Chain A
Amino acid sequence: MAGGGGGCVTLRGAQIRDLLDAKHNVLFDCDGVVWNGETAVTGAPEVVSLLKQRGKRVFFVTNNCTRPRENYVQKFSRLGFADVAEEEIFSSAYCSAAYLRDVARLQGKVYVIGCGGVMKELRDAGVPVAEEGDAEPGASIYTCPLDPDVKAVLVGYDENFTFMKLAKACCYLQSSECLFLATDPDPWHPLRGGRVTPGSGSLTAALETASSRKATVIGKPSRFMFDCISSQFGLDPARSLMIGDRLETDVLFGSNCGLATVLTLTGVSTLQEALAFRDSQEPQQKHCAPDYVVESVADILQALEE
């Protein structure tokens, strides 16, 4: 059974084995699934290795746009995951750059509200970025120059977000020909100890309100990241599995792409929340209910080793 309103069946042992036998591709979210902050989820590195040994293809699909892919490679290595290759990692920063280059085929520059990770991916993809320019003291929205080559605005998590950036982006978006993209919709990101920090979604909301336009969102739950992986690796949705910790992003993403979905309980969402979505009358909410639930990805390890 795949996609579109799951039954939240808790999986153990042989059931996990049976599910995996039917799937060739396993897509993992990162935060709250394979690691939490700088700590790997116990058993996660072994699970990834074992899946690959059993001939499965493994991909990592993350809305986190703060790092370029090569940093993720280093993080995986640091946390004890053997041989995770750059090509297996799909972040919203990487996919946003791919979208601008391959789907939008951008002719012109992109004005970016974002951090180093996004900038690097855009540069690596050969997408020209409008220079921010040094903020002169006393520069105001009325006097700051606008770059006539800007044909797209990309907004994502930006710790240096300011009112001026919001105003400039809004000016660019006055032209209906200017594309409006957001890396991901997450309103907040979890930090250690149950704390949170504002996410891309909150900055996107400000810009949508200012411009009266809706952004095209690259990250989960939008399909694009799956299409991006598929264009490079040819994925059959019926033979693919999505494992995540956030119902409104990971599970809905899996549902939107026709994948079987597994919720792991080592991150943001709870079993209670999953059941509430399952029992909801609203179709959109039902799509956030996972097919299966596991306590942790380590449960897969037990299933594979038995």
Chain B
Amino acid sequence: MAASKCTQLTAALSRQLLDSVDCVLFDCDGVIWRGDQAISGAPEVISSLKKNGKRVFFVTNNSTKTRQMYADKLGKLGFDATADEVFGTAYCSAVYLKNVCKLDGKVYLIGSNAMRQELEDVGIRPVGVGPDPVSGVQKDWANVPLDKQVQAVLVGFDEHFSYMKLNRALQYLCNPDCQFVGTNTDTRLPLEGGKAVPGTGCLLRAVETAAQRQAQVVGKPSNFMFECVASQFGLDPERCLMVGDRLDTDIMLGSNCGLKTLLTLTGVSTVAEAQANQKSQCPHQQKMVPDYYINSIADILPALQT
């Protein structure tokens, strides 16, 4: 691990860093693409890394796409990537429910069709996806029919989120044996164009507040996202580099899992924020200081091509 932190990644340091790792994990939004546009030079970086014998993975908190849908998007934007290199929270939540929660039953799902797909692919049956407008009167709502086979509530991004869905989740969660999982706590969707769209974190807070319970969260900065990749591909944390644009998710994950960390400035967090964390006495903030920072990941291309 770098003795000094928050260092600008020069060309020389790039070569040194790349030689010290076998595997690079990339966040997506704000790192390799923004919305539907690849960050200039990013596809070439991925290809070059692979040519240099590095393994590459994509780790994203976004729960709206399956691994295959991500692979399709990556392909469309010119990236050389396959579905099994992608770890989004739709897939990882399904794995978490199966392997960690050891779910043996159905899940009440507030989420997308992509999440439904990933759950079905691991053999878990979700109920509740799609629009669910309110009907009846208030005294009916506590008596909505509950599926006795539901053993967990999973909350991810859902454009059909409604009072009724919140109510159903609450009814299931009144049973303390019903497990409670959330895909991620990001408060906004990452987007171009200035309109702030609420993220999964808002929906999860609504359910947590109503139920007065805390969800187990799968997405970054939870270690599970790294463990999911590591357990499938046998990774050595010390030989891994996490590249991200958010100090509170990507860099925190890297710190917690013992990875090397690189902050790219094409997304959310700034160097000033990183330096402020570095100066602080707070252990929590200290985990949000990257080893290195770079203006854009395209800047490591020269180091890869020599």
Contact partner of B209 (CB less than 8 A), chosen from A142, A166, A205, is A205
A209 engages B210 (CB within 8 Å): no
What 1/0 flags go to A201-213 for Cβ under 8 Å of B? 1110111111110
B202 engages A166 (CB within 8 Å): yes
Contact partner of B198 (CB less than 8 A), chosen from A161, A163, A192, is A163
A201 engages B195 (CB within 8 Å): no
Which one of B141, B143, B158, B209 has the highest number of Cβ atoms from chain A below 10 Å of its Cβ? B209
CB distance from B246 to the nearest CB of A (A): 15
The segment out of B38-46, B122-130, B166-174 that lies at the interface is B166-174
Does B207 touch A at the CB level, under 8 Å? yes
Does B159 touch A at the CB level, under 8 Å? yes
B210 engages A198 (CB within 8 Å): yes
A210 engages B206 (CB within 8 Å): no
B212 engages A209 (CB within 8 Å): no
- Please, which residues of chain B bring their CB within 8 A of the CB of A209? 187, 198, 201-202, 205
- Please, which residues of chain B bring their CB within 8 A of the CB of A211? 196
- Please, which residues of chain B bring their CB within 8 A of the CB of A205? 202, 205-206, 208-209
A193-232 residues with Cβ-Cβ distance < 8 A to B are 193, 195-199, 201-203, 205-212
A25-54 residues with Cβ-Cβ distance < 8 A to B are 37
Does B284 touch A at the CB level, under 8 Å? no
Contact partner of B207 (CB less than 8 A), chosen from A141, A201, A202, is A202
Which one of A66, A158, A206 has the highest number of Cβ atoms from chain B below 10 Å of its Cβ? A206
B208-237 residues with Cβ-Cβ distance < 8 A to A are 208-212
What 1/0 flags go to A160-202 for Cβ under 8 Å of B? 1111001100110010000000000001100111011111011
Known contacts A195-B142, A202-B207; is A188 also within 8 Å of B198 by CB? no
Q: In the assembly, what is the distance between CA of A203 and CA of B167, in Å?
A: 11
- Please, which residues of chain A bring their CB within 8 A of the CB of B174? 195-196
Known contacts A202-B206, A205-B209; is A210 also within 8 Å of B196 by CB? yes
Known contacts A158-B163, A163-B159, A163-B198; is A142 also within 8 Å of B193 by CB? yes
- Please, which residues of chain A bring their CB within 8 A of the CB of B160? 162-163
Does B134 touch A at the CB level, under 8 Å? yes
Contact partner of A210 (CB less than 8 A), chosen from B158, B162, B198, B207, is B198
- Please, which residues of chain A bring their CB within 8 A of the CB of B37? none
A188 engages B210 (CB within 8 Å): yes
A161 engages B162 (CB within 8 Å): yes
Does A159 touch B at the CB level, under 8 Å? yes
Which residue of A is nearest B135, CB measured? A159
> How many inter-chain contacts with C-beta < 8 Å in the A-B complex?
110
A160 engages B134 (CB within 8 Å): yes
Which residue of B is nearest A204, CB measured? B209
Q: In the assembly, what is the distance between CA of A174 and CA of B196, in Å?
A: 8
Q: In the assembly, what is the distance between CA of A188 and CA of B143, in Å?
A: 15
- Please, which residues of chain B bring their CB within 8 A of the CB of A203? 163, 206
B196 engages A170 (CB within 8 Å): yes
B202 engages A210 (CB within 8 Å): yes
Known contacts A163-B161, A193-B142, A209-B201; is A198 also within 8 Å of B206 by CB? yes
Known contacts A162-B161, A171-B195; is A198 also within 8 Å of B202 by CB? no
Which residue of A is nearest B191, CB measured? A142
Known contacts A201-B209, A210-B187, A210-B188; is A160 also within 8 Å of B163 by CB? yes
Q: Residues of A with Cβ closer than 8 Å to B?
A: 37, 66, 141-142, 158-163, 166-167, 170-171, 174, 187-188, 191-193, 195-199, 201-203, 205-212
**A–B complex contacts, Cβ < 8 Å, 17 sampled:** A141-B195, A142-B195, A159-B164, A162-B161, A163-B159, A167-B197, A193-B142, A196-B142, A196-B170, A197-B170, A198-B170, A198-B206, A198-B210, A206-B203, A210-B198, A210-B199, A212-B187
The 8 tightest CB contacts between A and B, nearest first, are: A195-B142, A210-B198, A202-B210, A198-B210, A206-B206, A161-B163, A205-B209, A202-B209
